[in-house]
A and B are shown apart, each in its own frame.
Chain A
Amino acid sequence: MYYPEPISKLIDSFTKLPGIGPKTAVRLAFFVLNMKEDDVLDFAKALVNAKRELTHCSTCGHITDQDPCSICSDGTRDESVICVVQDPKDVIAMEKMREFNGRYHVLHGTISPMDGIGPEDINVPPLIDRLKDEKVNELILATNPNVEGEATAMYISRLVKPSGIKISRIASGLPMGGDLEYADEVTLSKAMEGRREL
């Protein structure tokens, strides 16, 4: 079908978002055309700023607009416990449940030989460094409960074990083979309670 170029470009941009197919993209594009110009400008600015002003915290890897992030620089948080997660979204899910008062480490992925991703390709080496410097005595491994998440947790636990740091894995309450971000807050907080020592 023929659209003027600015519209086809907009449609094309929308289809790059997850969960948006061609039909929805067309609907959103035409919706934007009918929005007030100021709103459209704010929207565009918000998009660009989110990308430009956010970086990764140099300590924990979480997304932030200041380095170190607000969690790492919060003195009231327990610096002896680190919860290791796969994704910034997992930090946000955990924070919502307000039960964990330690710090985080975001891996940005899992080890997956078939995708050519080794431990050094994700945020594992900085974690090991962090454990050397800081006064950490407990590590909670909260990677997703699927094959790769499990393997990544087991790998980290093998590396860290000799140091004597207590390691536990979020074990129960999470759907088998599911993703952490789908777990609702109740199951998540159950999972935190039921963590098992590795």
Chain B
Amino acid sequence: MHIKDIKLTHYRNYEKLDLTFDHQVNVIIGENAQGKTNLMEAIYVLAFSKSYRTSKDKELINWDENYARIEGTVHKRARQFPLEMQFSAKGKKAKLNHLEQQRLSDYIGALNVVMFAPEDLNLVKGSPQIRRRFIDMEIGQIQPIYIYHLGQYQKIVKQRNHLLKQLQRRKTSDETMLDVLTDQLVEHARVIIAKRFIFLELLREAATGIHEGISQHSETLSIQYSTPLDVLESDSEEKIGKCLHETFKDNREKEIDRGSTLFGPHRDDLLFYVNDRDVQTYGSQGQQRTTALSLKLAEIELIKREVGEYPVLLLDDVLSELDRHRQSHLLDTIQGKVQTFVSTTSVSDIKHQTIEQAALFNVTSGTITKQK
């Protein structure tokens, strides 16, 4: 799939922008603080309805304006359709094919995007939250219903944590409500965990081969789901649910004591091993980067497998962070298959033939011109 064109209105430092893209590689060239990341972010927001940089939608609106709009034409499965996101003080609107969608899970997934930014190099080393976001976003765009479960789950965790705090401080003694929220929580938690297990199996299949390729057969990658729950990846949803119920029953006192929900998908993590050693603890920086790159490339393959077409790839400032070898591995992989947006301060940083055939764009303070 690819994005044919994009229109921005009052989006961050873009007053008005109307661009037509190449269906292969587009390079966005500009000095610092000119708007490269803002453009990448706009494409991301068009796909996911929210930014990865901020949870406050208001920040996306130009400082001097009161609304922001992103419109794009997507080409997917030999069809073409418009997507539109609009943000204002009243909230956001998502339109798919001119129709406003009430549920974001009906919108997300229409355009598939994989983003690779320098922060993603922290996928292995960074906090568990980064890895959970990675897995959640990927499953979400392949299976939008996952986003629904995740959203419900997060709300219930919030409610349950408040109730546990009230029980901890003896502001209430009503444990019936705790039972209710636990039932509700498990209902969604078991679906989330089961779907993560299925996804992980697919990710493993794709990532290990890619990792072997990048490391020229010197490294074997393995991935594990880390959870204090007594579950196996082969367990059914029902079995996972039973285990969750037992865990919450056995730990009721402890949870009230801590005033917080201690088990569930919001506490789980992913572990990566290279040649049977934990990469997070023992891996060299190079091994960690190779792992992050393998995971990102695997993601692209997975979306292709599940959705039937390659997603759009966003490479914000990341190419210059990779060494020559990893850089060309990445560009070789996407060449001719994946519509890619590359941002850089200077094209000479990238030495690869794909760049020679790419469409080049120059950004200066919120205006973009195509190079001839």
Q: Is A113's CB within 8 Å of the partner chain B?
A: yes
Q: Is B359's CB within 8 Å of the partner chain A?
A: no
Q: Using C-beta atoms within 8 Å of the partner chain, give the interface range for chain B.
A: 20 to 34
With the chains together, A148 CA to B177 CA distance in Å?
A: 11
In the complex, are the beta carbons of B177 and A147 less than 8 A apart? no
With the chains together, A177 CA to B151 CA distance in Å?
A: 10
Query: A-facing mask of B154-170, CB < 8 A → 1, else 0?
Result: 01101110110010000
Residue of B148, B159, B172, B176 touching A158 (CB-CB under 8 A): B176
With the chains together, A176 CA to B149 CA distance in Å?
A: 11
In the complex, are the beta carbons of B180 and A155 less than 8 A apart? yes
What distance in Å separates the Cβ of B105 from its nearest Cβ neighbour in chain A? 9
Residue of A111, A147, A175, A177 touching B156 (CB-CB under 8 A): A147
Q: Which of A119, A151, A176 has the most CB of B within 10 A?
A: A151
Chain A residues with CB under 8 Å of B177's CB are: 111, 113, 118-119, 151, 155
What distance in Å separates the Cβ of A129 from its nearest Cβ neighbour in chain B? 17
Q: Is A54's CB within 8 Å of the partner chain B?
A: no
In the complex, are the beta carbons of B103 and A176 less than 8 A apart? yes
In the complex, are the beta carbons of A159 and B180 less than 8 A apart? no
What distance in Å separates the Cβ of A156 from its nearest Cβ neighbour in chain B? 10
Residue of A119, A154, A177 touching B184 (CB-CB under 8 A): A154
Chain A residues with CB under 8 Å of B166's CB are: 113
Chain A: interface secondary structure? helix
With the chains together, A143 CA to B159 CA distance in Å?
A: 17
Q: Is A150's CB within 8 Å of the partner chain B?
A: yes
Chain A residues with CB under 8 Å of B160's CB are: 113
In the complex, are the beta carbons of A178 and B176 less than 8 A apart? no
Q: Is A123's CB within 8 Å of the partner chain B?
A: no
In the complex, are the beta carbons of B183 and A154 less than 8 A apart? yes
In the complex, are the beta carbons of B103 and A177 less than 8 A apart? yes
Chain B residues with CB under 8 Å of A159's CB are: 176
In the complex, are the beta carbons of A150 and B184 less than 8 A apart? yes
Chain B residues with CB under 8 Å of A119's CB are: 174, 177
Q: Is A112's CB within 8 Å of the partner chain B?
A: yes
Residue of B whose beta carbon sits closest to that of A19: B90
In the complex, are the beta carbons of B162 and A151 less than 8 A apart? no
Q: Is B117's CB within 8 Å of the partner chain A?
A: no
Query: A-facing mask of B8-19, CB < 8 A → 1, else 0?
Result: 000000000000
In the complex, are the beta carbons of B102 and A158 less than 8 A apart? no
With the chains together, A113 CA to B155 CA distance in Å?
A: 11
Q: Is B321's CB within 8 Å of the partner chain A?
A: no
Q: Is B330's CB within 8 Å of the partner chain A?
A: no
With the chains together, A191 CA to B90 CA distance in Å?
A: 31
Chain B residues with CB under 8 Å of A151's CB are: 156, 159, 177, 180-181, 184
In the complex, are the beta carbons of B158 and A114 less than 8 A apart? yes
Question: Which A151-198 residues have a C-beta within 8 angstroms of B?
Answer: 151, 154-155, 158-159, 175-178
Question: Which B223-247 residues have a C-beta within 8 angstroms of A?
Answer: none
In the complex, are the beta carbons of A176 and B148 less than 8 A apart? yes
Question: Which B171-217 residues have a C-beta within 8 angstroms of A?
Answer: 172, 174, 176-177, 179-181, 183-184
With the chains together, A114 CA to B177 CA distance in Å?
A: 13
In the complex, are the beta carbons of B180 and A113 less than 8 A apart? no
Chain B residues with CB under 8 Å of A176's CB are: 103, 148
In the complex, are the beta carbons of B156 and A155 less than 8 A apart? no
Residue of B159, B162, B176, B179 touching A147 (CB-CB under 8 A): B159
Residue of B whose beta carbon sits closest to that of A115: B162
In the complex, are the beta carbons of A114 and B159 less than 8 A apart? yes
Q: Which of A119, A147, A158, A159 has the most CB of B within 10 A?
A: A147
Chain B residues with CB under 8 Å of A158's CB are: 176, 179-180
What distance in Å separates the Cβ of A105 from its nearest Cβ neighbour in chain B? 19
Chain A residues with CB under 8 Å of B102's CB are: 175, 178
What distance in Å separates the Cβ of A138 from its nearest Cβ neighbour in chain B? 21
Query: B-facing mask of A137-152, CB < 8 A → 1, else 0?
Result: 0000000000110110
With the chains together, A118 CA to B5 CA distance in Å?
A: 51
What distance in Å separates the Cβ of A162 from its nearest Cβ neighbour in chain B? 12
Chain B residues with CB under 8 Å of A175's CB are: 102
What distance in Å separates the Cβ of B221 from its nearest Cβ neighbour in chain A? 38
What distance in Å separates the Cβ of A195 from its nearest Cβ neighbour in chain B? 19
Chain A residues with CB under 8 Å of B163's CB are: 113
For the complex with contacts A151-B159, A176-B148, 4 further pairs of A-B residues with Cβ separation under 8 Å are: A112-B159, A150-B184, A154-B183, A177-B152
Q: Residues of A with Cβ closer than 8 Å to B?
A: 21, 111-114, 118-119, 147-148, 150-151, 154-155, 158-159, 175-178
For the complex of A and B, the 3 pairs showing the least CB-CB separation, nearest first, are A113-B162, A113-B163, A114-B162
27 contacts between A and B (CB under 8 A): A113-B159, A113-B162, A113-B163, A113-B177, A114-B158, A114-B159, A118-B172, A118-B177, A119-B174, A119-B177, A147-B152, A147-B155, A147-B156, A147-B184, A150-B184, A151-B159, A151-B184, A154-B184, A155-B176, A155-B180, A158-B176, A158-B180, A175-B102, A176-B103, A177-B148, A177-B152, A178-B102
